[in-house]
Amino acid sequence: MRTVTATRYVTPLREGGSLPGLMEADDQGLYVVKFRGAGQGTLALVAEVIAGELARAMGFPVPEIVLVNVSAELAAAEADPEIQDLIKASDGVNLGMDFLPGAFPFAPPIKATFAADVVWFDALIGNVDRTAKNPNLLNWHARTWLIDHGAALIAQHSSAALVDSALNPFPAISKHVLISFANSILDAHARMSSHVTPDLLENIVNMPPKDWFKNHAPEDYATYLLKRVADKGFAAEAENAR
C-alpha cells in the first residue's frame, strides 16, 4: 500500500459510527479517512485492509486503500471540538480509501452471479455490515464497488484463538442485501475459493501496521481464513439462507 500525508481535513462523513472524514493529501488526492482514534479503534482498520485487499485480489472493485499520516496539528484548523479531539487522538498512521466523486448509492438491477460472489465473500470474512439498511455498495463508472469493511472479521474482537472460531456459524448472512439477487453460493465457492491462497494471505495480513493488531497476530488471520475456505461450511450456510 502507498503512504500519503494528510494536508487538510475537508469535511466529516457522518454516515458511520466511526466518524470518518474526507481529507486531502500531499499527492493532491481526496481520501475517506478512518481514524485510529475513533471509538472502533485500530481493529476496524485491520479489517478494512485485510478484507478490502482480499476483495481486490479476487477481482471485486474496491477503492484504493492507503496509509495516511495524520498530524495532530491539523486539529487547530477545525472549529468542531469533536473533530479536534478525533484528529488529536489519531496522530500517526491512519487508513484512507480513495474518494469516488459522484458515486451513487447501490440500486438494483445487479447480476445474479456477481451478487452470489459478494455474498460468498462476505460470508467468508464474517462481514455483518452489508445489509439493506447499510449496503456499503456504490455504483460508480458503471460498476458496483465494495466499500467499508471495518465491521468484517468480527471474530477478531474475541480474545479466543481465531482458528477456534473459524468454523462458527454466521447467521447474519441471511440479512445480506444481495442474497435475494444471488444465484448459487456453492457455485460461487467453486469459482472464488481458489483465489484464497497461503501466499496471498501472508502478503495481505502483513499490510496493516503491526501496532494496529491487538488480540491476534497477523498470521492468525491467514490461518482463520484458510480454515474457513477449506471447510466451505460458510458457503453452505449462505446457500441455505437464500
For the chain, give the secondary structure using H, E and C.
Answer: CCEEEEEEEEEECCCCCCCCEEEEECCCCEEEEECCCCCCHHHHHHHHHHHHHHHHHCCCCCCCEEEEEECHHHHHHCCCHHHHHHHHHCCEEEEEEECCCCCEECCCCCCHHHHHHHHHHHHHHCCCCCECCCCCEEEECCEEEECCCCCCCHHHHCCCCHHHHCCCCCHHHHHECCCCCCCCHHHHHHHHHHHCCHHHHHHHHCCCCHHHCCCCCHHHHHHHHHHHHHHCHHHHHHHHHC
Q: Are residues 80 and 121 in the same domain?
A: no
Rounded to whole angstroms, the Cα distance separating 216 from 160 reads: 9
Mean pLDDT of 1-14: 95
Q: Are residues 18 and 67 in the same domain?
A: yes
pLDDT (0 to 100) of residue 19: 87
pLDDT (0 to 100) of residue 16: 60
pLDDT (0 to 100) of residue 18: 72
Q: Is the pLDDT of residue 231 over 90?
A: yes
Q: Specify the number of domains making up the chain.
A: 2
Q: Which residues, 6+ apart, have CB-to-CB distance to 109 below 8 Å?
A: none
Q: Are residues 152 and 236 in the same domain?
A: yes
Mean pLDDT of 75-85: 95
Q: Is the pLDDT of residue 15 over 70?
A: no
Q: With bands split at pLDDT 50, 70 and 90, how would you rate the model's confidence at 30?
A: very high
Domain boundary among 69, 98, 127: 98
Q: With bands split at pLDDT 50, 70 and 90, how would you rate the model's confidence at 241?
A: very high
Q: Domain range spanning residue 85?
A: 3-98
Domain boundary among 98, 130, 161: 98
Strands 65-70 and 3-12: parallel
Q: Are residues 125 and 227 in the same domain?
A: yes
Q: Are residues 125 and 235 in the same domain?
A: yes
Domain boundary among 42, 64, 98: 98
User: What is the percent of the chain where pLDDT is above 70?
Assistant: 99
Rounded to whole angstroms, the Cα distance separating 161 from 164 reads: 5
Q: With bands split at pLDDT 50, 70 and 90, how would you rate the model's confidence at 60?
A: very high
Q: What is the pLDDT of residues 114-133, one digit of tens each?
A: 999 999 999 999 999 999 99
Q: Is the pTM of this model over 0.95?
A: yes
pLDDT (0 to 100) of residue 225: 98
Cα atoms in the Cβ-side hemisphere of radius 13 Å centred on 121 = 28
Mean pLDDT of 188-204: 98
